[in-house]
Amino acid sequence: MRLWLSRGSSISVREQLVTQVVLSILSGDLKPAQRLPSTRELARRFHVHPNTVSAGYRQLEHDSWVEFRKGSGVYVKPQRTQTSAPAVALDKLIADFLLAARRLDTPLAVVRTRLRQWMEVQPPDHFLLIEPDHELASITLAEMQQRLTFPVQACAPEDCDDGIFEGAIPLVLSIKSKIVREEIPMNRDLVTLHLRSAADSLAPYLPVPSTALVGIASRWVPFLKTARTMLIAAGFHPDCLLLRDASKANWRRGLGQTSAVICDSLTAQGLDGKPSVIAFPLLAESSLQELQEYEQFIRGPLAP
C-alpha cells in the first residue's frame, strides 16, 4: 500500500490517511478483505503518534470503508456495489451465440429478427452516465469522448424516467454508486466505472523540489481538495500550492508562474499546455477498455 503522510501541515495526518485509503479502495489499489498496515507499523514508518493512526482507522470504520477484526487487524470492508464483470461475461456469451449462428450458416438478418422477437428491445447506441454532480459528469464525459466512438450523455438521477434509458448503456461512477442506485428503478442494470489510482498517477512525478510552485486547477471542487491533500502528504508546503477554481473568472491568473499545473482532463483542454500541464484522468484504464469492449461487441457481431 503506497502512502504519503506529512506532519506539521495544515491538513491533519488523520485526514491525509483517510483520504488516501478511501481513494485506494475506490481505485482498486486496496481490495475487499485486504489487510491494512497495523497502527503500530504506520506510526513507526511515518513517525506519528499511534493514536493519530488509530483515529483515522476509526473514522474509516465509521464510514464503512474498513472493519476491525478482533486479534487480527484492520481490513477493507467489501462494498455493496454492483460490479460490471457479470455484464461483460454475459456479453461474451451472447457473442459466442452469434458466432455459433454463423457456423450454422444462419443469415444474420434471421438472427436479428429472432433476437428482436425474443428481446423486444432497441439495441444500445449510446452511453448514459447517471451522475448528480454536474462538474464531475462534465469531466467524466470529456474523458470518455476521447476514447469512445459511441455518443455519451449524462443526466441526474432525478431525471431518469423510463424513456431516457431507451437505447442506452447506463453507467455510474463507483463513488456515487450507492446514491444513484437508491434513486433509480431497481430493475436497471448499471455498468460501474472505477477511478484511476491517485497514488499511481502522482508517483511518476515524485520526488520534486517541495518548494516548487505548483498550480492545481479544476471546476470540480473535490478534485482541488483531494489534489492538495495528496501533494501536502507527499511533502509540498501548502504555501507552494496555488489553487484555482476553473469555474471562476480569471482563474488562469498566476498559473503562468508555476512550475506545473495539475488538473483534470477537461480543465487541461483550456490551458493549451502552458505552463507545463499534468492532467490526472479520473477514470481507470480498465473501465475505459471495458466500454470499448461494449462498442466492439455491438458494432461487431451485430454489424451486417
Query: Is the model's pTM score more than 0.85?
Result: no
Same structural domain for residues 52 and 110?
no
Same structural domain for residues 185 and 291?
yes
CA distance 100 to 43: 59
Q: What is the pLDDT of residue 82?
A: 47
Residue 198 has which C-alpha cell?
A: 491517485
Q: What is the pLDDT of residue 47?
A: 92
Same structural domain for residues 222 and 176?
no
Give the length of the chain: 304
Same structural domain for residues 91 and 137?
yes
**Cα distances (Å, whole numbers) of residue 34 to 37, 46, 61, 64, 86:** 10, 21, 14, 14, 22
Q: At which of 78, 106, 121 does a domain end? A: 78
Contact 52, 14 (CB under 8 A): yes
pLDDT at 38 over 70: yes
Same structural domain for residues 165 and 41?
no
Q: Is residue 241 part of a domain?
A: yes
Q: At 300, is the pLDDT very low, low, confident or very high (cuts 50, 70, 90)?
A: low
The predicted-structure confidence for 113-159, as pLDDT tens digits, reads as follows: 766 655 555 568 899 999 999 999 999 999 999 999 999 999 999 88
CATH code for position 58: 1.10.10.10
Q: At 61, is the pLDDT very low, low, confident or very high (cuts 50, 70, 90)?
A: very high
CA 36 to chain CA centroid, Å, is: 21
Same structural domain for residues 294 and 156?
yes
Q: Is residue 304 part of a domain?
A: no
Same structural domain for residues 188 and 90?
yes
Q: What is the pLDDT of residue 87?
A: 61
Same structural domain for residues 155 and 131?
yes
Q: What is the pLDDT of residue 83?
A: 46
Q: At which of 31, 49, 78 does a domain end? A: 78
The predicted-structure confidence for 64-115, as pLDDT tens digits, reads as follows: 999 999 889 999 998 655 445 566 666 666 666 766 776 777 776 777 776 6
Q: At which of 35, 57, 78 does a domain end? A: 78
Min mean pLDDT across 33-47, 148-162, 186-200 is at 186-200
Same structural domain for residues 147 and 168?
yes
Q: What is the DSSP string of 221-250?
A: HHHHHHHHHHHHHTT--GGGEEEEETTSTT
Number of structural domains found in the chain = 3
How many of the other CB atoms lie within 10 Å of CB of 72? 8
Same structural domain for residues 8 and 68?
yes
Q: For residue 143, which of 127, 121, 162 has the smallest C-alpha distance?
A: 127
Q: Which domain covers residue 155, as residue numbers?
A: 85-195+286-299
Q: What is the pLDDT of residue 296?
A: 83
Q: Is residue 95 part of a domain?
A: yes
Min mean pLDDT across 120-124, 252-256, 259-263 is at 120-124
The predicted-structure confidence for 222-249, as pLDDT tens digits, reads as follows: 999 999 999 999 888 899 999 999 999 9
Return mean pLDDT, the chain: 85
β-strand 241-245 against 214-218: which pairing, if any? parallel
CATH code for position 218: 3.40.50.10190
